[in-house]
Chain A
């Protein structure tokens, strides 16, 4: 079985959001702060992998230094696996920076190794990452060849064995003790090791070495856990610079939305809500939601919606990273448009509502619905807009009795002379829910010609409660 191993030597560096490529960047790790990854500019200044931070800083004074973060690399690796899953089926993660792909099962689909590789590299190119690869007839063989940056792709067993044979034992996953032990008996390379009969090795060395050789040559089964993509989108993006002006967030946000668009488009899905988290320096991160009632996948539209929400958000400290999580992912339902309708609207009602809600807030854009209650202030309640209502059969009273178009938020005491035209209509309700109402309603007209809905309480005080506009 043919395996392909992809090794990403500078994964954290490549996944950084960089506005400016002209700066030398290095990522350091370990007790001595050794350089583990560096970009092209840092390389030009003479910085080498494994160099201490002191010497690196001496070589290049304006070097940008970041700490190595294994968690972040692993998260990015999962993201790569998710992306590659679109073109290849069997992927296994080797955190923090390796991916193992089972090639043999894909060959009949792509009709040959070359085609497969072409599709794979073209797909991988979109992520803009540096990688090294190798392939072999066992996972260990593929990994060894990739780690030593052989970057050769062939399915000729003889050639692969030759390449493997010349490799020193130091690059293998074997412990130092075992490698030293083997060195003392004159075994320096993998080729030397493989020439020894397995039974002899079993006699002199422990079972771990035997298992390793067995798995390397493919004689022993090597169990592999394959990756299954989750149906959720959650992306964390670390910013290269701290951003305190939220308008500058648009570019990095667009980058994440673009990934979201790809994610959704390949699944033919729409997202209804994005949870965005702004990680602040030395302070609680800010959470906010962007809604789209209709569901949206396009990065451009999401950017527009989030822009409106961002206008009303204040942060107390600079933003250092952002997380975007897509919620309410649902299937794409096609909108039916009337070809002969005169108003070819640019956007639909749902889209309009989500745009308004993004800017004004959810509570400020509402629909109304009727509730079967005789108390006027409770018979109309706000509800999410554009909701299909269970149609309440209009009771006889509500259909025949005249009601005002506007109910005042608070009844106002009557302060002027007015003529009562109709009434009374007595409403006695609410003794069951601690909001009892005993009122006689009248329709009145005041001297200015306004038609008002007034009521008299049992205590004989008069209030204006509505306007017949």
Chain B
């Protein structure tokens, strides 16, 4: 074979039609619009970034995925408040398998995420991260996730967005009256998408706004206490 091709091959710059890398296993997210845009669902093992405000429905979007593997642990790292057991129990989450980690330092948060992922004992790890993350850190999490066949959801603010991270999936969410608006920023084996709407009215009728009735008259601001 040509030396040049060999050299390129060595650097993974040549694509072989004959070599088929196995498709990663996908799992339905429970929301048809999202599944459609992800060609079937979320990957079963890997690092997923979700850029979102807190409290717009990001956890509700993930809940069907989180409860899909009831035999393994569900880990919350640095959650934005006290996790409410009543809500989890109402969503049929086995509380015995819920572990909440609140490390003192951000560094420890990443360390615990990696330990949890590679242990193989955890189905999903939810990590709220309030800092920039570097390429090598993401890579480590990804390798750990592959080893333990688990996945990590990194929930971060939009201002930390960087395109160069080696994530399996990066998703932006923004609030919308009848659910959330999502946009795929980056995806392995796929292209980024335009913004699309995920409807939550069927899953969460109380936490969505239907059509705003046109007979609604706002109370005059001057008379409000």
Q: Which residues of A are interface residues toward B (Cβ below 8 A)?
A: 342-349, 351-353, 355-356, 359-360, 364-370, 376-377, 379-380, 382, 385-389, 392, 394, 398-399, 402-409, 421-422, 443, 445, 448-452, 466-469
Q: Which of A351, A443, A451 contacts B119 (CB 8 A)?
A: A351
Listed from nearest, the 4 A-B pairs whose CB atoms lie closest are A449-B175, A345-B120, A406-B81, A469-B59
Closest A residue by C-beta to B58 = A469
Q: Are A365 and B115 in contact (CB under 8 A)?
A: no
Q: Are B83 and A368 in contact (CB under 8 A)?
A: yes
Assuming A343-B120, A352-B119, A366-B99, is B148 touching A406 (CB within 8 A)?
A: no
Assuming A403-B90, A449-B174, A452-B55, is B85 touching A379 (CB within 8 A)?
A: yes
Closest A residue by C-beta to B174 = A449
Per DSSP, chain A at the interface is: mixed
Q: Are B82 and A356 in contact (CB under 8 A)?
A: no
Closest B residue by C-beta to A392 = B89
Q: Looking at chain B, what size class is its interface with the partner chain?
A: 35 or more
Q: Are A451 and B95 in contact (CB under 8 A)?
A: no
Q: Are B119 and A380 in contact (CB under 8 A)?
A: no
- Report Cα–Cα, A368/B90, bound state, in Å: 14
- Report Cα–Cα, A405/B132, bound state, in Å: 25
- Report Cα–Cα, A366/B103, bound state, in Å: 11
- Report Cα–Cα, A342/B85, bound state, in Å: 29
Closest A residue by C-beta to B44 = A342
Q: Which of B55, B56, B83, B148 contacts A343 (CB 8 A)?
A: B148
Q: Are B83 and A405 in contact (CB under 8 A)?
A: yes
- Report Cα–Cα, A341/B175, bound state, in Å: 39
10 A-B pairs (CB sep. < 8 Å): A345-B121, A345-B148, A360-B104, A365-B100, A370-B86, A380-B84, A392-B89, A467-B55, A468-B207, A469-B56
- Report Cα–Cα, A22/B8, bound state, in Å: 57
Closest A residue by C-beta to B118 = A346
Query: Shortest CB–CB separation between residue B105 and chain A, in angstroms?
Result: 9
Q: Are A364 and B101 in contact (CB under 8 A)?
A: yes
Extra pairs beyond A343-B149, A386-B97, A449-B56 (9, CB < 8 Å): A343-B72, A364-B104, A366-B99, A368-B95, A403-B86, A406-B80, A448-B56, A449-B175, A468-B207
